[in-house]
Amino acid sequence: MSRRLRKLIVVSGLIVITGAIAGLFWYNEWVYSLPTPIPPNYQPVKTGEFVYLDESFKVYQRKFLPLIHRPNKGPKRIVCLRNL
């Protein structure tokens, strides 16, 4: 294989790879620029308004999420983050 043919193959490959990468960036930009579809049962909610959910949304029943628990270091303490 001649030196000129090798250079042509390498340059062609680099152009194809660069084009593929540019195409992926363009595609992601295009997908995120599309408008978000609005569900048919969408109802706007005012700021601060309480949203009532039915029973199907209750998945996590605990009142707090323990972050630090030290059972062997003096009195038991639990630092918790309350669920909203």
**66, 79 contact by CB (below 8 A):** yes
Q: Please give the pLDDT value at position 72.
A: 58
> How many CA within 13 A on the CB side of residue 5?
2
Q: Please give the pLDDT value at position 47.
A: 86
C-alpha span between 27 and 75 (Å, rounded): 57
Question: Residues 78, 57, 81, CA angle at the centre, nearest 5°?
Answer: 15
Q: Please give the pLDDT value at position 84.
A: 45
**In the chain, what are the domain boundaries?**
3-82
pLDDT at 71 over 90: no
pLDDT in tens, 13-54: 999 999 999 999 999 999 999 998 898 888 888 888 887 777
pTM of the model: 0.46
Sign of CA dihedral 19, 21, 25, 28: positive
CA 16 to chain centroid: 30
